[in-house]
Structure 1
């Protein structure tokens, strides 16, 4: 099989499996001889901030490796990708080669399992095999959906630290209808005796996580924020909270890392598509805020960085998202919203989105595509914010790279 054939075959697997992802991973790891064992895992869950915290932690670990007499390798597993599937699996900031995806993916697709893996299950198994073969020491592992039943929760190797960045209402059809229910699902990554780090969140959610940590004999670490004089590689006020979570996470590891190394890692961190300024003239900032809590963080950062400014928003979302609430959150700083349809099966049509936003009193215009939206937004003479689904952000970045 070619790389394209492997990727397409995996991509056409079910998005949400009939079987619990955790159980699929357990079957995969058993059949593969438990390649997960012997590596140090940093397991990260949360509604928002998972990717940013993973980027900060990975960057600090890479800085620590560089500063150490005995260097080590740092693996990073995240999702979704923005442009290329290889973004999901990285070692020391370098994406997995396509030939490795082809080789390992073809092998995994040829396995006979009792349970049916999803697309995510295959990429996770591929990452673990690749990390093991490359003798990776530390693996920064981002959950896909939830915690308890998530595929990343099926590894037999206990993590060195469990991290829960934030709790908000998301995927309620799978995770629960209240913050407490969702917190309980995220808390499923907590393991007996393993330190737990949590970010800032509502007391209702924090209480659930604290109770679970206490029940399993885990030391709980609450992260705050970092001072404004600390340089971060990621833009946006909310990233200071994510950076604080990363610092607490690093301090839970049995690894000597001094403050200068932490500062270097924070400054060097990169995470495309999050408060990412891709053009100065016209000013265009893109952000993968795709749920109400993520949009609030985006708006807070925009107000903090650009007070008293109105923006033109370009928005594309999935049909199952709380897009009306998201629009209401940006309403105070939005001059007009230009809507776009994502090239994805679950996408909300631009016309439907625009009509629904007009229904709540907002100025909205449906556009035929992203370029049309940029042209229309540029004519408004306002800074442009591109937001919504990460798949849309990926399309924008890909369009930028090809321009």
Structure 2
């Protein structure tokens, strides 16, 4: 689940990509996908280690995490896990999970604020994803399949799908329309900008200052297309050999694109801030009204937001983000998938552990002991058809109207 959370969160996905590009950029981009995948897997594993630790301490962990409930920082993956780090992680986990929906313990008021924050984060994630897709034609100019504005709008409509009636749906439609307009404007600005318009404060990877000096006044889209062709043909530039040229050009393209994306995302999110605040407030009101009708209605409401059948759109699982479970809850979930023999053996293990604890005998083995049960039952039934004359008196009830049976059964293992 943590791996899925990373893959479906554009921020985490791109953060891991930035590090992979710095680490494996010297390969000319060939090794970046491999390193990118390894970084995401390692990050998910680190998060899972903390999750298990916290679960065993009795804490609750969301089934599906958002940025607000994610514990670990990718920069700390190589840090040794000490008590100090564990304590900090535990404290953060408490802060981010205390308001998450827990149907077994929490009330509506406890999770309203958290649910609203998750919805706001959900909208931001969709903006990130759509901007990333919009840049596909700039990042991959030699690729045949690119996203048109119409296709982007189809993706947006699918990712912000909402079936609830009333003001929530209207606001979502307003946000969708506003993002569509802003995205066209922002992408037009980017495509008409120069390479020098997007220079990050800190360069990730190889220093490309000398290449920037040559290309800074060139149109961004045209320059990237030209440089991509040069890389594909294995040419040399500015007196550097093919390998050095590849490193510097890749670094310039990557940093320029990332900085441009960052600005576009910021501009769009800033412009829709009022819409988003309005949505969050209306969501809280609606969710509170729905919750008063019961858990089933809450489930339907949450399911209606952001869940579509469009497999091409990465979606944040809102319902999974709201639902938080403890160790015992996860254990029950796992037991549903276990067969009868596995369950019986686990029960036997628990009996053995408890017997050792209660008796003080640390060598107690369940396999060396037998258990028997005596079951005694008394039942009676009405006569079937004309059977009364054939039933012995000892098998009749005192009033003579029914047949009675006394059964004693012994079972052991």
Report TM bin, short chain.
under 0.3
TM-score by length of 1: 0.24
The structure showing larger relative contact order (alpha-carbon pairs under 8 Å, at least 6 residues apart) is: 2
Higher strand share: 1
Q: Which has the higher helix share?
A: 2
TM-score, normalised to structure 2, is 0.24
